[in-house]
Amino acid sequence: PGSGTATAAASRRRRRREEPEGGHRKQARREPEASGARPTSTMDGSTACEQDRDGAIAGHNQGVKTEPCFQTNSLLPSPSTSLISQLLSHPMVGRSLDPCILFPSSQAVALPQDHECSASPGEGAKALTFPTTRAPASMPCAGDRDQLSDQHLRAKRARVESIIQGMSLPPTPQAFGTSLEAAFGHERERGGEMPRESKRKPRVPQQGTGAAGQVAPVVGSPRAEGCQQLKEQLCFLEQQLRWLQEKFSQVCDSVDAAQTQEGAEKAHPLPGKPGDGPDKDSAAATGNLCKAPLRRSVLEVHGPEEDKDRGDTVGLPSAARVLSQALKDELAGVTSQVVDSVLKTIWPKAASHLLQQHHSLPVSGPGARREYFAAGKCRKPLAKPSPTSALGSLSSPQAEALSGTSGKRPGSHAVSFSSKGVRKPCQVRNMSYPLGSHGPWGSSSCGSPSAPERGPLESLNLHWGTVKLRSSVVRQQQQQHPLPLSPADVESLGCSVWAAECQLSLTPRQIQEALTPGHLKKAKLMFFFTRYPSSTLLKTYFLDVQFSRCITSQLIKWFSNFREFYYIQVEKFARQALLEGVVDAGALRVSRDSELFRALNTHYNKGNDFEVPGRFLEVASLTLREFFNAVRAGKDADPSWKKPIYKIISKLDSDIPEGFKATSCSQELLRS
């Protein structure tokens, strides 16, 4: 009993004596990382994560624009900008027919949009402005007018492109202010707090120059440029006009369908509306893609008030009413699209089903979504853990029975709470979730505890996405009944329906800014699975924590302390066994009723409400034997005698059940 402290103290004294030989120690410490699959993957994962995050950010920088979801797909002529900007810009453009005033006016028209874009999801617009092309243009060479002109033209073209693309974006303030900003802006926010992000800041200045270069060429533009500009403007307007027309016809159709009683009125095409024949057909065709969704969006956004909304416009002239409705529809539609895109981006498959089934979700219908999804290759699809597919269709118990192992040692990974007390659904279904099926990490990690490819990007994406979702879109749905996700949906994520709900935070979860006792408890339980978690991994499993440098290091520190305690305990018992005359290291086994286990379990699983995975017993047994052998061989004379042991143990981390990712986990654990 008391010998533990003594042993530990002795160990410490010894270490202290060894201190001067830091060199050895370093090697020892570093060893696991150098060759250990775990630490290595840790680094990789970390780097990859960083890159990914970077990539993601870059993506958003370049933009909104890069985000194919919002861009390409939205070639549907729908975003509210198209209409609104037309209304706003028409007069100006009209005045700007004179090339002399064209540019100023074009600035007025174009720049705001650029800003709009850049101010939104990413500081992106600049990236879209092709800084490289633009850079020279922003440095007017006194004599080289042609070149300047040429560059300027290209710049203009780029900007027009960006304008057009911007129009296809949903720049609805509310949209960005809520879902999108919460989604991607949040990441930037966090990025600021994340140590690694700070390194990436240099990108900002670049954008700055991009923006500068954007304005520069416009000033003092020659007449030739003016013509070109005019041309482009006209093209641009032409396109907008086309869209507007489509809008009109589409809205008319919609009105037709909805208000048959107003047949007489609708029979009159809008003034100036092109022929009904072919145009109408094409418009209708286009409209079919977004009409239904738009209408539904309106209905969902305004709920039962839809009719009232329409009713409000009854007094207006038909054109105005149509326009009004079109604007409403578009606003609603844009909002829906944003929600749709965000959701789809971070959770493609589930989102798809979710969107289709959950009627209260203000999203676009299948048609429009198809468009978005088709073009929305924002992210590569989540890796599908094929081996788990079968599990997806099984009921929970079945799945558990089949996958309770990590594919290697049957039963060794079985994780579940003991029967003590009544477990909340969270714990039971969560914690006992099959370890073998970790969606984000794919099937490859099923068989090997070391899981070299741990910590890939997708998990992070999912993780952030989840957080974002929770904080933005889904929160509004929290009171709703559980989302009707089928096992098939969940299968793609490799986590249970419940876990999905949990992560979507149907139960409201606040993002903590500090670690709580619940988190500590959770961390301790996680230690049963991983002794050397990377910060990336931790971030993945503490989704309800707003990570900062401080939080991260605290978590790391926790595990460091856990390890310390663990190794001290094991060493203590190894020495004890030696003193007791044990000769065969193979006879040393850590069972659930062994003293060592009790010591460890008391420390990491106080309350004993979690069933320690068998795998941990194996690891502990191995550690014990290693210590035993080392001490018996007198290796402890070597200052770095623990190095090989650390190295071995560092490779024995196993996957952590997905259930630990549940944001409610920590709190539930605290209550148990």
Where on the chain is the footprint of DNA (CB under 7 A)?
A: 11-16, 18-19, 22-23, 25-30, 32-34, 39, 42-43, 46-47, 195-196, 198, 515, 520, 524, 532, 534-536, 549, 552-554, 556-564, 567, 603, 642, 646, 650
Task: Closer to DNA by CB, 124 or 533: give it.
Answer: 533
Task: Closer to DNA by CB, 433 or 532: give it.
Answer: 532
Task: Closer to DNA by CB, 19 or 281: give it.
Answer: 19
DSSP 399-448: HHHHHSS-SSSTTTT--B--SSSPPPHIIIIIITS-TT--TTTTTHHHH-
**Nearest approach, Cβ of 460 to DNA (angstroms)?**
13
**Nearest approach, Cβ of 198 to DNA (angstroms)?**
7
Please compute Rg for the chain using Cα positions.
31
**Nearest approach, Cβ of 25 to DNA (angstroms)?**
6
Those residues with Cβ within 8 angstroms of residue 13's Cβ, 6 or more apart along the chain or in another chain: none
Do the Cβ atoms of 618 and 594 come closer than 8 Å? no
Task: Closer to DNA by CB, 313 or 554: give it.
Answer: 554
For 86, 171, 283, 366, the CA distances from 253, given in Å and listed in that order, are: 22, 26, 9, 19
CA angle in degrees (0–180, nearest 5) for 582-588-594: 110
**Nearest approach, Cβ of 11 to DNA (angstroms)?**
6
Quick one: 401 exposed, middle or buried, by C-beta within 10 A (0-12, 13-18, 19+)?
middle
Do the Cβ atoms of 646 and 33 come closer than 8 Å? no
Task: Closer to DNA by CB, 328 or 642: give it.
Answer: 642
Paired tokens of 653: 């981390």
Helix (H, G, I), strand (E, B) or coil at 477: helix
Angle subtended by helix axes 186-193 and 457-471, to nearest 10: 120
Q: What is the H or E stretch that residue 549 is in?
A: helix 549-579
For 395, 406, 646, 659, the CA distances from 401, given in Å and listed in that order, are: 10, 11, 33, 16
Task: Closer to DNA by CB, 493 or 624: give it.
Answer: 624
**Nearest approach, Cβ of 185 to DNA (angstroms)?**
21
**Nearest approach, Cβ of 294 to DNA (angstroms)?**
45
**Nearest approach, Cβ of 618 to DNA (angstroms)?**
19
| Amino acid type, 346 | I
Residue 530 CA to residue 137 CA, distance in Å, equals 55
Task: Closer to DNA by CB, 327 or 556: give it.
Answer: 556
Task: Closer to DNA by CB, 32 or 293: give it.
Answer: 32
Residue 42 CA to residue 39 CA, distance in Å, equals 5
Task: Closer to DNA by CB, 247 or 647: give it.
Answer: 647
**Nearest approach, Cβ of 604 to DNA (angstroms)?**
8
In the Cβ-directed half-sphere of 215, how many Cα atoms lie within 13 Å? Answer: 10
Task: Closer to DNA by CB, 16 or 261: give it.
Answer: 16
Task: Closer to DNA by CB, 396 or 512: give it.
Answer: 512
Cα end-to-end distance, the chain, whole Å = 28
Helix (H, G, I), strand (E, B) or coil at 325: helix
Q: What is the H or E stretch that residue 618 is in?
A: helix 614-632
Task: Closer to DNA by CB, 478 or 561: give it.
Answer: 561
**Nearest approach, Cβ of 519 to DNA (angstroms)?**
9
**Nearest approach, Cβ of 466 to DNA (angstroms)?**
21
Paired tokens of 268: 């009159």
**Nearest approach, Cβ of 149 to DNA (angstroms)?**
45
Task: Closer to DNA by CB, 296 or 647: give it.
Answer: 647
Do the Cβ atoms of 156 and 215 come closer than 8 Å? no
**Nearest approach, Cβ of 576 to DNA (angstroms)?**
19
Q: What is the DSSP secondary structure assignment for residue 611, as one 8-state letter?
A: B
**Nearest approach, Cβ of 1 to DNA (angstroms)?**
19
Task: Closer to DNA by CB, 88 or 556: give it.
Answer: 556
Quick one: 125 exposed, middle or buried, by C-beta within 10 A (0-12, 13-18, 19+)?
buried
Angle subtended by helix axes 614-632 and 595-604, to nearest 10: 120
- How many residues in total does the chain contain? 672
Residue 500 CA to residue 350 CA, distance in Å, equals 9
**Nearest approach, Cβ of 204 to DNA (angstroms)?**
17
**Nearest approach, Cβ of 327 to DNA (angstroms)?**
47
Residue 568 CA to residue 9 CA, distance in Å, equals 10
Residue 646 CA to residue 628 CA, distance in Å, equals 14
Q: What is the DSSP secondary structure assignment for residue 495, as one 8-state letter?
A: S
The phi and psi torsions of 623 (rounded to 5 degrees) equal -60, -45
Task: Closer to DNA by CB, 395 or 553: give it.
Answer: 553
**Nearest approach, Cβ of 357 to DNA (angstroms)?**
39
The phi and psi torsions of 22 (rounded to 5 degrees) equal -45, -35
Residue 647 CA to residue 511 CA, distance in Å, equals 35
The phi and psi torsions of 611 (rounded to 5 degrees) equal -85, 115
Task: Closer to DNA by CB, 291 or 524: give it.
Answer: 524
